[in-house]
Amino acid sequence: MEMLNKYIATRTHIDGAPQESDFELKTEKFLLSVEAGSNNVVVKTLYVSIDPYQINRMKSFSSSQKASSFAVGITPGEAIEAYGVGRVVASGHPDFEKDDLVAGLVSWGEYSIVKGAVMLNKLDPMGFPLSYHVGILGFSGLTAFGGIFEICKPKKGEKVFVSAASGSVGNLVGQYAKLFGCYVVGCAGTKQKVELLKEKLGFDDAFNYKEETDLNSALKRHFPDGIDIYFDNVGAEMLEAAVANMNTFGRVAVCGVISEYTDARKRAAPSMLDVVYKQINIRGFLAADLMSVYADFISTTVDHLRNGKIHVLEDISRGVESIPNAFMGLFRGDNVGKKIVQIADE
Amino acid sequence: MEMLNKYIATRTHIDGAPQESDFELKTEKFLLSVEAGSNNVVVKTLYVSIDPYQINRMKSFSSSQKASSFAVGITPGEAIEAYGVGRVVASGHPDFEKDDLVAGLVSWGEYSIVKGAVMLNKLDPMGFPLSYHVGILGFSGLTAFGGIFEICKPKKGEKVFVSAASGSVGNLVGQYAKLFGCYVVGCAGTKQKVELLKEKLGFDDAFNYKEETDLNSALKRHFPDGIDIYFDNVGAEMLEAAVANMNTFGRVAVCGVISEYTDARKRAAPSMLDVVYKQINIRGFLAADLMSVYADFISTTVDHLRNGKIHVLEDISRGVESIPNAFMGLFRGDNVGKKIVQIADE
pLDDT at res. A133: 98
Closest Cα in chain A, distance from residue B35 (Å): 36
Task: Name the β-bridge partners of A184.
Answer: A160
Interchain pair B271, A63: CB under 8 A: yes
Tell me if B258 sits within 8 A of B331, measured CB to CB.
yes
Say whether A301 sits in a helix, a strand or coil: helix
Residues of A in contact with B273 (CB under 8 A): 56, 62-64, 257, 260-261
Q: Smallest Cα–Cα separation from A284: which of A219, A242, A230, A325?
A: A230
- Separation between Cα atoms, residue B296 and residue B139, nearest integer Å: 14
Closest Cα in chain B, distance from residue A254 (Å): 6
**Residue B1 confidence (pLDDT) above 80:** no
Q: Please provide the distance, in angstroms rounded to a whole number, between the alpha carbons at the two ends of chain A.
A: 21
Using alpha carbons, list the distances in angstroms from residue B91 to B33, B79, B118: 7, 20, 13
Q: Smallest Cα–Cα separation from B90: which of B28, B26, B39?
A: B39
Which strand (E) or helix (H) includes residue B193? Answer: helix B191-199
- The conformational region for residue A129 under phi > 0 = left, psi -120 to 50 = alpha, else beta, is beta
Whether A192 is in a domain gets the answer yes
Closest Cα in chain A, distance from residue B160 (Å): 19
Give chain B's mean pLDDT.
96
**Angle CA B122–B126–B127, to nearest 5:** 130
- Do A121 and A161 lie in a common domain? no
Whether B294 is in a domain gets the answer no
Q: Smallest Cα–Cα separation from A186: which of A153, A213, A218, A142?
A: A218
Max intra-chain CA distance, chain B:
66
Q: Is B255 on the interface with A (CB under 8 A)?
A: yes
Q: Is A225 on the interface with B (CB under 8 A)?
A: no
Interchain pair B279, A284: CB under 8 A: yes
Residues of B in contact with A288 (CB under 8 A): none
Whether B31 is in a domain gets the answer yes
The DSSP call for residue A74 is P
Residues of A in contact with B274 (CB under 8 A): 63-64, 284
Tell me if B119 sits within 8 A of B104, measured CB to CB.
yes
**Angle CA B272–B170–B79, to nearest 5:** 100
Q: Smallest Cα–Cα separation from A254: which of A233, A229, A280?
A: A233
Whether B89 is in a domain gets the answer yes
The ipTM is 0.95
Say whether A40 sits in a helix, a strand or coil: coil
| Mean local confidence (pLDDT), A125-153 | 98
Sheet strands (E) in chain A: 2-10, 23-31, 41-49, 81-91, 101-107, 111-114, 120-122, 159-162, 183-188, 205-208, 227-232, 246-254, 281-284, 314-318, 338-342
Using alpha carbons, list the distances in angstroms from residue A149 to A141, A166, A296, A300: 12, 19, 11, 12
Closest Cα in chain A, distance from residue B214 (Å): 18
Whether B25 is in a domain gets the answer yes
**Residue B2 confidence (pLDDT) above 90:** no
- Do B193 and B121 lie in a common domain? no
- Separation between Cα atoms, residue B236 and residue B323, nearest integer Å: 27
Counting the structural domains of chain A, the total is: 2
- Separation between Cα atoms, residue B232 and residue B242, nearest integer Å: 9
Closest Cα in chain B, distance from residue A92 (Å): 34
- Do A128 and A148 lie in a common domain? no
> Which of B257, B267, B276 is the closest to A257 by Cβ?
B276
- Do A223 and A235 lie in a common domain? yes
Express each pLDDT in B258-287 by its tens digit: 989 998 888 999 999 999 999 999 999 999
- Do A98 and A195 lie in a common domain? no
Q: Is A211 on the interface with B (CB under 8 A)?
A: no
The crossing angle, in degrees rounded to 10, of helices B215-222 and B236-244 is 50
- Do A130 and A146 lie in a common domain? no
Single out the residue in B252, B271, B288 at which a domain terminates: B288
Tell me if A330 sits within 8 A of A339, measured CB to CB.
yes
**Residue A1 confidence (pLDDT) above 80:** no
| Mean local confidence (pLDDT), A316-332 | 97
- Do B99 and B159 lie in a common domain? no
Whether A300 is in a domain gets the answer no
Sheet strands (E) in B163-233: 183-188, 205-208, 227-232
Q: Is B277 on the interface with A (CB under 8 A)?
A: yes
Task: Name the β-bridge partners of B15.
Answer: none
Domain of residue B78 covers 2-136+313-342
Residues of B in contact with A268 (CB under 8 A): 269, 272
- Do B98 and B157 lie in a common domain? no
CB neighbours of A43 closer than 8 A, spacing ≥ 6? A86, A87, A88, A89, A102, A106, A111, A112, A113, A114, A120
- Do B25 and B111 lie in a common domain? yes
Residues of B in contact with A285 (CB under 8 A): 276, 279
- Do A87 and A160 lie in a common domain? no
Whether A297 is in a domain gets the answer no
> Which of B232, B277, B282 is the closest to A63 by Cβ?
B277
Interchain pair B281, A284: CB under 8 A: yes
> Which of B56, B271, B285 is the closest to A273 by Cβ?
B56
Express each pLDDT in A221-248 by its tens digit: 999 999 999 999 999 999 999 999 999 9
pLDDT at res. A151: 97
CATH number at B42 reads 3.90.180.10
Whether A115 is in a domain gets the answer yes
- Separation between Cα atoms, residue A281 and residue A86, nearest integer Å: 39
Express each pLDDT in B53-111 by its tens digit: 999 999 999 989 988 778 899 999 999 999 999 999 999 999 999 999 999 999 999 99
- Do A103 and A169 lie in a common domain? no
Express each pLDDT in B139-158 by its tens digit: 999 999 999 999 999 999 99
CATH number at A210 reads 3.40.50.720
Interface test with A, best of B57, B277, B280 (most A CBs within 10 A): B277
- Do A14 and A102 lie in a common domain? yes
Interface test with B, best of A53, A240, A277, A290 (most B CBs within 10 A): A277
Rounded to 5 degrees, φ, ψ at A156 are: -55, 140
